[in-house]
């Protein structure tokens, strides 16, 4: 039997789609224009950068600006990028791994005080970061870690944070316990079950948490401002502010080089999001599953 179907013309639906796409295009222009302007400004010469009224695109793109900003001794942008990369990698690994361990405990084991501890963990999400700012600063000061990168990534290895624990716990609870029981019958211990069976099933959730942690750690400004004093220890977030306040060299402005540094600082976050976009969307969708 041959069946054919025709899509009926619906003026109301067509009008709704046109309005929706028009709104989306306006939002793309509004949110994309600052990025386009930054990229354009990074490719301008000094006179083009200072001319008024400003022009959107340079006459001759100066790609050498990126090479120049990487070889300016007074503003070691390359060192800042390397420092940020080290902090972000260690923070992301520590957050995902320790959050998974704590979430595994809350989701798979029954022990006295478990629900109370989980409630206390969730309660920490209501506390602003400024509440623990001074005690944490005193702690790292007493430990002699000032002007080092340790305060920026060491806390991530002690639980990872309430958000990551809560999200991964929901994923653990969505996995049937039959897998654990079957593994126990086969002689596997709880560490083996966690590492070889459950953790691979959490791929989308771990990717989502890793992307969120990566972006948050890369753009962190408050902690580097508190703990770092030397320009060679700066991360890229605090380094760009130092670059912005740096005096001109021989009366020559460096704002076009600052724009080039800003573009380079955006590349890792944009790249990591597009690389893990599929896992990120999948993780967000699956986070609504009930245990």
Q: What is the pLDDT of residues 72-82, one digit of tens each?
A: 778 888 999 99
Domain boundary (68, 88, 113) is at: 68
> 206 with 109, same domain?
yes
Confirm whether 182 is domain-assigned.
Answer: yes
Domain boundary (68, 93, 110) is at: 68
> 51 with 135, same domain?
no
pLDDT at residue 274 in the model? 82
> 193 with 115, same domain?
yes
> 52 with 94, same domain?
no
What range does the domain containing 89 cover? 73-286
> 173 with 261, same domain?
yes
Please state the rounded mean pLDDT for residues 255-265.
87
115: Cβ contacts below 8 Å, ≥ 6 apart: none
> 17 with 125, same domain?
no
Domain boundary (24, 40, 68) is at: 68
Confirm whether 83 is domain-assigned.
Answer: yes
pLDDT at residue 205 in the model? 87
Mean pLDDT over the full length of the chain: 85
Confirm whether 6 is domain-assigned.
Answer: no
Confirm whether 242 is domain-assigned.
Answer: yes
> 60 with 82, same domain?
no
d(CA 273, CA 291): 28
Closest CA to 192 of 157, 100, 99, 184: 184
pLDDT at residue 7 in the model? 60
> 148 with 27, same domain?
no
> 59 with 19, same domain?
yes
Decide: 160 and 96 in contact? Cβ < 8 Å. yes
Q: Is the pLDDT of residue 195 over 50?
A: yes
pLDDT at residue 250 in the model? 53
> 34 with 86, same domain?
no
Decide which of 22 and 280 is more confident. Answer: 22
Domain count, the chain: 2
Closest CA to 84 of 201, 185, 217, 189: 217
> 82 with 58, same domain?
no
Alpha helices in the chain (DSSP H): 11-42, 46-50, 64-70, 77-108, 114-123, 133-142, 150-153, 162-174, 178-185, 190-192, 199-201, 203-218, 222-227, 236-245, 255-275, 277-286
Confirm whether 139 is domain-assigned.
Answer: yes
Confirm whether 169 is domain-assigned.
Answer: yes
Confirm whether 77 is domain-assigned.
Answer: yes
> 86 with 58, same domain?
no
pLDDT at residue 1 in the model? 45
Q: What is the CATH number of the domain that holds 151?
A: 1.10.3720.10
- pTM of the complete model: 0.83
Confirm whether 291 is domain-assigned.
Answer: no
Please state the rounded mean pLDDT for residues 154-167.
90
């Amino acid at each position: 039997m041959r069946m054919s179907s025709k899509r009926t013309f619906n003026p109301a639906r067509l009008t709704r789609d046109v309005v929706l796409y028009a709104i989306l295009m306006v939002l793309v222009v509004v949110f994309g224009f600052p990025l386009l302007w930054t990229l354009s400004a990074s490719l301008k010469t000094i006179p083009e950068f200072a001319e008024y009224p400003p022009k959107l695109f340079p006459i001759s793109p100066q790609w050498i600006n990126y090479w120049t900003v990487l070889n300016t001794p007074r503003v070691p942008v390359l060192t800042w990028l390397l420092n940020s990369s080290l902090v972000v990698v260690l923070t992301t690994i520590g957050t995902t791994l320790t959050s998974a361990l704590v979430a595994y405990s809350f989701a798979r084991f029954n022990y006295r005080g478990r629900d109370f501890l989980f409630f206390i963990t969730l309660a920490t999400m209501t506390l602003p970061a400024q509440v623990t700012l001074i005690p944490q600063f005193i702690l790292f000061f007493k430990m002699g870690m000032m002007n080092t990168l340790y305060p920026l990534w060491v806390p991530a290895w002690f639980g990872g944070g309430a958000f990551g624990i809560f999200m991964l716990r929901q994923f653990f609870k969505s996995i049937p316990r039959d897998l654990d029981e079957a593994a126990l019958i086969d002689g596997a211990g709880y560490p083996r079950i966690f590492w070889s069976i459950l953790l691979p099933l959490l791929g989308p959730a771990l990717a989502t948490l890793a992307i969120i942690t990566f972006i948050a750690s890369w753009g962190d400004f408050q902690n580097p401002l508190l703990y770092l004093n030397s320009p060679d220890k700066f991360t890229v977030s605090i380094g760009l502010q130092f670059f912005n306040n740096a005096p001109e060299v021989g009366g020559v402005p460096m704002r076009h080089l600052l724009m080039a540094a800003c573009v380079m600082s955006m590349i890792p976050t944009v790249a990591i999001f597009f690389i893990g976009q599929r896992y990120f969307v999948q993780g967000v969708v699956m986070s609504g599953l009930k245990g």
